[in-house]
Amino acid sequence: MISVFDIYKGIPIGTIIKRDLKKRGISQIALSRSIGISYKTLNRIINNHRTIENTYAIKIEKILNYEPSFLINLQNYIIQRDKNQKSIFLYGTTPIIRKCVFWDIDMNKLDWRKNKNFIINRVSQYGNTSEKSAINEFYGL
């Protein structure tokens, strides 16, 4: 049986909270008051600009009827995934591509496995010869 965590794994917690608030007809202001947090801080969490603290996560889980530790586990998964992606990029296990090839996205958040087709297409369009051969070595022909 698939757990709730497996279903939502990788989705930012703010996105999940925002959707469930809308489904239940609860405003962000009402939620912020009920958990004792400023509206501005809650809004930053919901818009995925800030991580959530354990005490607030527990209160939100109770209000929205989530499993205990659901939000914290989800947040920890995302943080670890982002660290892994960043370390893959920083320590040279991925091809070295100029930032100008990916001018419109944050290369630190680029998932080299999930975005394989996008990366290959972008490098084939805008990359130089060494970048194209590095991509061929990395992904194979």
Instruction: Please determine, for residue 116, whether its predicted confidence score (pLDDT) is greater than 80.
Output: yes
What are the tens digits of pLDDT across the range 18-72? 999 999 999 999 999 999 999 999 999 999 899 899 999 999 999 999 989 999 9
Residue 124 pLDDT: 92
pLDDT at 92 over 80: no
Alpha carbon 139 to its chain centroid, in Å, reads 23
Share of the chain above pLDDT 90, in %: 46
Alpha helices by DSSP H, listed for the chain, are: 4-8, 13-24, 28-35, 39-46, 54-63, 70-90, 116-126, 129-139
Q: How confident is the model at residue 90 (pLDDT cuts 50, 70, 90)?
A: low
Q: Closest by alpha carbon to 37, among 52, 17, 26, 23?
A: 52
| Residue of 90, 96, 124 lying closest to 108 (CA atoms) | 90
- pTM check: above 0.85: no
- Taking Cα atoms as reference points, which of 45, 49, 25 lies closest to residue 37? 45
| Domain at 4-79: CATH code | 1.10.260.40
Residues of the chain with CATH 1.10.260.40: 4-79
Sequence-distant (≥ 6) Cβ neighbours of residue 124 within 8 angstroms: 132, 135
Predicted local distance difference test score (pLDDT) of residue 34: 93
The most distant pair of C-alpha atoms in the chain lies apart, rounded to whole Å, by 57
